Amino acid sequence: KAGVTQTPRYLIKTRGQQVTLSCSPISGHRSVSWYQQTPGQGLQFLFEYFSETQRNKGNFPGRFSGRQFSNSRSEMNVSTLELGDSALYLCASSLAVYSHGTDTQYFGPGTRLTVL
């Protein structure tokens, strides 16, 4: 079974630009979560989608948005990029059959975003 894939793997942008990252979950997984990791910080939760609906959102500004398609693939968009947005962005998928809180999350390899 194919794992979680993320594209692109690396990205360089300049301040003020916008970026879209893509995540394809494991087949059959309906929940996709997004995380940001910066040096010295743990994985910071951005948002979680289930059946095309955002179920929960972390404490990030409105420049960070996402969506999920009917095939469970998800995209994350960051508008008006700032230097501080440079980070590794990870997505994770899970079955979310019963309860999301106990589901094992399967992570993708991440997208390394550098903002110059």
| Nearest-approach distance from CB 80 to other proteins, in angstroms | 25
Residue 15 CA to chain centroid, in angstroms?
20
Output the smallest distance, CB 79 to other proteins, in A: 23
CB nearer to other proteins: pick between 13 and 112? 112
Kindly state the smallest distance separating residue 45's Cβ from other proteins, in Å. Answer: 5
Shortest CB 41 distance to other proteins, Å: 7
Provide the 10 A C-beta neighbour count for residue 55. Answer: 13
- By C-beta, is 55 or 63 nearer to other proteins? 55
Nearer to other proteins, 70 or 102 (CB): 102
Dihedral through CA 103, CA 109, CA 110, CA 111, nearest 10? -150
Q: Rule CB under 8 A: which residues touch other proteins?
A: 3-4, 31, 33, 35, 40-45, 48, 50, 55-56, 58, 90, 92, 99-102, 104-110
